[in-house]
């Protein structure tokens, strides 16, 4: 039997629809030595939205070389976030594995960059 979660943390459908989650292709991955925790600086091609920068703490599971060309899901409407001297423009999404390392959220098949999660 499936039960509803507690009311705490529930959002309305309208709020969810306001979250803009798009797919993009990582076109550049650079070291980010100034970050407090190990991270990369990414440039993501979001198609009609253009190239956007993001910082991602994914150095345990991914090398810079294997990130380039990989499609990822990004939240595009959170606004910019200053991380040290770096300005992050989108949030690259992922899940923690059993060790707390981030596994990127990705489409199962290639889709056009900029496609919105439905």
- Secondary structure, 3-state, the chain: CCCCCCCCCCCCHHHHHHCCEEEEEEEEEEECCCCCCCCEEEEEECHHHCEEEEEECCCCCCCHHHHCCCEEEEECCCCCEEECCEEECCEECEEECCCCCEEECCCCCCCCCCCECC
Could you read off the pLDDT of 50-103 as tens digits, one per residue? 999 999 999 999 999 999 999 999 999 999 999 988 999 999 999 999 999 999
**CATH fold for domain 20-104:** OB fold (Dihydrolipoamide Acetyltransferase, E2P) (2.40.50)
Could you read off the pLDDT of 4-39 as tens digits, one per residue? 555 568 889 998 889 999 999 999 999 999 988 999
pLDDT attached to residue 1: 47
Domain ranges of the chain: 20-104
The answer, as to whether pTM is greater than 0.85, is yes
């Amino acid at each position: 039997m499936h039960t509803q979660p507690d009311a705490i943390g529930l959002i309305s459908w309208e709020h969810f629809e306001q979250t803009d989650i798009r797919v993009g292709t990582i076109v550049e991955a650079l070291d980010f030595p100034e970050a407090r925790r190990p991270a990369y600086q990414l440039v993501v091609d979001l198609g009609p939205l253009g190239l956007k920068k993001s910082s991602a703490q994914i150095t345990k599971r991914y090398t810079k070389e294997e990130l380039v060309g990989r499609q990822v899901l990004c939240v595009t409407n959170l606004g910019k976030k200053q991380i040290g001297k770096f300005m992050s423009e989108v949030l690259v999404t992922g899940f923690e594995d059993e060790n707390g390392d981030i596994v990127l959220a990705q489409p199962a098949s290639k889709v056009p960059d900029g496609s919105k999660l439905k």
